[in-house]
Amino acid sequence: MLDVAIIGLGWWGRIITGTLAESAKLRVRRAVDADPQAARWASERGIAASTDYADALADPAVKGVVLCTPHSLHTGQIAAAAAAGKHVFCEKPLALTRADVEASVRRCREAGVVLAVGHERRFEPPMLEVKRLVRSGELGTVLQIEASFSQDKFLSLPPANWRLSEREAPAGPMTATGIHQLDLAVGLLGPAERAFASVRRLGSNLANGDTLGALVTFKSGANLLLSAILATPFAGRFAVYGNEGWVEVRDKAHPEAPEGWVLTRCRRRGKPESRDYPAAAAVRANLEAFADAAEGRALYPVPAAEMIANIAALEAIFRSAASGTVEPV
Ligand SMILES: NC(=O)c1ccc[n+]([C@@H]2O[C@H](COP(=O)([O-])OP(=O)(O)OC[C@H]3O[C@@H](n4cnc5c(N)ncnc54)[C@H](O)[C@@H]3O)[C@@H](O)[C@H]2O)c1
């Protein structure tokens, strides 16, 4: 059982606290939020809570931290956790620059602590099947990936919310949703080579932009065509095309409350065949993989090289959205 402290008790920190209540591998020992009202949310649920991150780092009973805080805080909070000898599960994006993610990977390695990241989509059963199909060669050579994630949850945020700021969330929807799709593509294709991205505000008051389209070309030569929108109802789709067939996964509901997926596969000279997947607790599965790694039962399944490749491609997308030109990764 890995005893952890949840840092940041906003939208996602509360979802994670809830999902861990049903885990046999992690126990929430403490909680921290800079906002006393949010910290009170945890105390009311019987969790020792405070407003100072240092309290969790100083607690010898806490073996790991789960960072659910604003993006620009991640690198500093990872450094402090590594220095205190705590394992780290950090929400996405792990960093906003390649230099920062490389520093986090290095600090955790040197401190002998595990670094894990909140890309739960990798743990969704149909996505595991997509990975199997790609790795086994059943789709042949991967030619192209089409991925889209849309939602309208941010329309209700106050304009000053950190998630809508250029500093915390460059390139509009990219750090909120596009990053998950980018991570899935990196997990299948490896490092990217160049990126072109366009971000516009077309259908909302979100000052930072509500519509992103990006083309990411990987070193393998395959492309990711990425769509991320913040001003239309939820839709999630991930499709991989190979020269022996294609596979597509459609989400039935937002990952915060999964309702399952439909996976459709088409073999060369075949017809599309669809299969339903029931809902699965992918967020918890990711955290439990973190616990398995921290307690020495297994390696964490997202390699550090892929964490770095994801943020390196993210940074190129930020640069391209700002420059309007193709940017090298
Ligand atoms: N994996 C997913 O699917 C998923 C979904 C939603 C959000 N997230 C990620 O979770 C993280 C948090 O996002 P959110 O939507 O919950 O934001 P939020 O604004 O709802 O919550 C963030 C919380 O962090 C607290 N905080 C700020 N500074 C702090 C500090 N120095 N120490 C402790 N607490 C501090 C805030 O008071 C707030 O309560 C982000 O990285 C976001 O991208 C991931």
Claim to verify: residue 10 and residue 98 sit in the same structural domain: yes
Examine the domain organization and report whether 107 and 175 are in the same domain.
no
Q: Is the CB of 12 under 6 A from ligand 1?
A: yes
Which residues 6+ apart lie within 8 Å of 46 measured at CB?
none
pTM of the model: 0.97
Question: Is there a single domain that holds both residue 125 and residue 211?
Answer: yes
Q: Does residue 220 sit in the same domain as residue 106? A: no
pLDDT in tens, 72-130: 999 999 999 999 999 999 999 999 999 999 999 999 999 999 999 999 999 999 999 99
CATH number at residue 78: 3.40.50.720
Assess contact for 321 and 174: CB atoms under 8 A.
yes
Q: Are residues 310 and 190 in the same domain?
A: yes
Q: Quote the ligand 1 centre to 67 CA distance (angstroms).
A: 8
Residue bearing the CA closest to ligand 1, atom 20: 10
Measure 70 CA to ligand 1 centroid, in angstroms. 5
| pLDDT tens for each residue of 205-236 | 999 999 999 999 999 999 999 999 999 999 99
Rg (CA), the chain: 19
List 279's β-bridge partners, or say none.
none
Preceding omega of 93 cis (within 30 degrees of 0): yes
Domain extent at residue 309: 121-328
Q: Rounded to an integer, what distance in angstroms lies between the CA atom of residue 147 and that of residue 144?
A: 10
Closest residue by Cα to atom 30, ligand 1, is 34
CA atoms within 13 A on the CB side of 137: 0
Query: Which among 97, 118, 139 is the end of a domain?
Result: 118
What's the structural domain count of the chain?
2
Q: Which atom of ligand 1 is nearest to the CA of 38?
A: 39
Q: How do residues 162-217 score in pLDDT, each as one tens digit? A: 999 999 999 999 999 999 999 999 999 999 999 999 999 999 999 999 999 999 99
Check pocket membership of 108 for ligand 1, CB cut-off 6 A: no
Q: Could you report the per-residue pLDDT of 265-310, keeping only the tens digit for each?
A: 999 999 999 999 999 999 999 999 999 999 999 999 999 999 999 9
Alpha helices (H) along the chain: 11-20, 36-43, 53-58, 74-83, 98-111, 125-135, 178-189, 282-294, 304-323
SS3 for 236-287 is EEEEEEECCEEEEEEECCCCCCCCCEEEEEEECCCCCEEEEECCCCHHHHHH
Question: Are the C-beta atoms of residues 71 and 93 closer than 8 Å to each other?
Answer: yes
